Amino acid sequence: MPTQTHLHQQLLKVHTQGKTLHDITPQVETVVREAEIQTGLCVVFVRHTSASLIIQENADPAVLRDLNTFFAKLVPEDGRSYSHAHEGPDDMPAHIRAALTRTSEQIPITQGRLMLGTWQGIYLWEHRQRSYERQIVIHISGH
């Protein structure tokens, strides 16, 4: 007899404090527990074009600092390089950074838990200078 697939979806709101990486792993893990799905897939999707999601090392904060430094050099906020600038000098660079990273991540679920590696965390990467309330959709399917 086939196992019936169950779906669970929840909107997570994250208040950012300007351009930085925010560890959202605990919030996503809570949603997975509440979904009561033992085996399946968790899709995490950010509903914005100037923020992104990454799975990255969660043990050494230097990794996150180095990522920020690298992207600051790769996509400068000089205010002269972009024609889309009416929302401020950080807006177009934020769109480019989001295009170079991801707006969604998929993580398998086994025995009711995210199957992240030992040193992996899920991060919302705010690419704008000021604070925002970002919306993240967590969609879980499985049984």
Q: pLDDT, tens digit, for every residue of 44-90?
A: 999 999 999 999 999 999 999 999 999 999 999 987 889 998 899 99
The hierarchical CATH code for the domain 6-142 is 2.60.120.460
CA-CA-CA-CA dihedral for 61, 70, 51, 36, to nearest 10? -40
Does the model's pTM come out above 0.85?
Answer: yes
Q: Write the DSSP assignment of 120-143 as a string of letters.
A: EEEEEEE-SSS--EEEEEEEEEE-
The angle subtended at Cα 127 by Cα 88 and Cα 118, nearest 5°, is: 175
Rounded to the nearest 5°, which phi and psi values hold at 119?
-110, 20
Contact 131, 14 (CB under 8 A): no
